[in-house]
Amino acid sequence: DTGVSQDPRHKITKRGQNVTFRCDPISEHNRLYWYRQTLGQGPEFLTYFQNEAQLEKSRLLSDRFSAERPKGSFSTLEIQRTEQGDSAMYLCASRLGGNTEAFFGQGTRLTVV
Amino acid sequence: KQEVTQIPAALSVPEGENLVLNCSFTDSAIYNLQWFRQDPGKGLTSLLLIQSSQREQTSGRLNASLDKSSGRSTLYIAASQPGDSATYLCAVNKMRGTYKYIFGTGTRLKVLA
């Protein structure tokens, strides 16, 4: 297992289009997080899954954003009707339960033009 | 509301210097604190995880300390090298009420050859 995998690495889309990102966590990691990071800032929390249950969601996540984790394995983050302000790096992280380290993927860089 | 601050925001040092990066947090009821490294345009690499019951953790040339009662953590880098140039981020995981990690804005380190 090579770590948390995110796809695609880069995405350029026109304003108003829908985009979907995928995250494959480390095997057996039942906790999964999505974060968003803009230039010069620390990552901001978007949402958290424990197995397939979405247990926490940030107010940053407008109704245009939705995340799923069917079967508690990979997760997808969809942004509908993209806006220029959605341009950012979208990061996924996973970890085991208990007091364990979180591991991040390489991120998906979204540019909305 | 938990807030995480990192000082300095940027640091430039000659190769070989020992240096200290600071992280402070406003709510001492944390579960753990994790230090990460981020290279430009990349994801986060985990460096060290300190549990709330621990005072420090070491990995190679890195040493992280935690003083929960005063809301502070430091990351000590010994004998810095140009390859250490990156942004260093700390993140706290609160004990109750939320699952998320809250990040500081990072310290951008440049080690000059």
Q: What is the mean pLDDT of residues B41-54?
A: 94
Residues of B in contact with A45 (CB under 8 A): 100-102
A86: left (phi over 0), alpha (psi -120 to 50) or beta: alpha
E strands present in B1-113: 4-7, 10-14, 19-25, 30-38, 44-51, 56-59, 62-67, 72-77, 86-94, 101-103, 107-112
Cβ B44–A104 below 8 Å, yes or no? yes
Phi, psi of A48 (to 5 degrees): -140, 135
**Residue B93 exposure: Cα atoms within 13 Å on the Cβ side:** 18
Q: Where is A66: in which H helix or E strand?
A: strand A65-68
Cα dihedral A27, A34, B84, B67 sign: negative
Cross-strand pairs, B12: B110
Q: What angle do CA A97, A100, A105 make, to 5 degrees?
A: 95
Most A CBs within 10 Å, among B53, B59, B101, to test the A interface: B101
Q: Does A96 touch chain B (CB under 8 A)?
A: no
pLDDT tens series, chain A, 113 aa = 579 999 999 999 999 999 999 999 999 899 999 999 999 999 999 999 999 999 999 988 888 999 999 988 999 999 999 999 999 999 999 999 887 899 999 999 999 99
Distance CA A71, CA A68 (A): 10
pLDDT at A1: 52
Most B CBs within 10 Å, among A5, A23, A24, A35, to test the B interface: A35
Q: Which residue is closest to A101 within chain B, CA to CA?
A: B49
Q: Which residue is closest to B88 within chain A, CA to CA?
A: A42
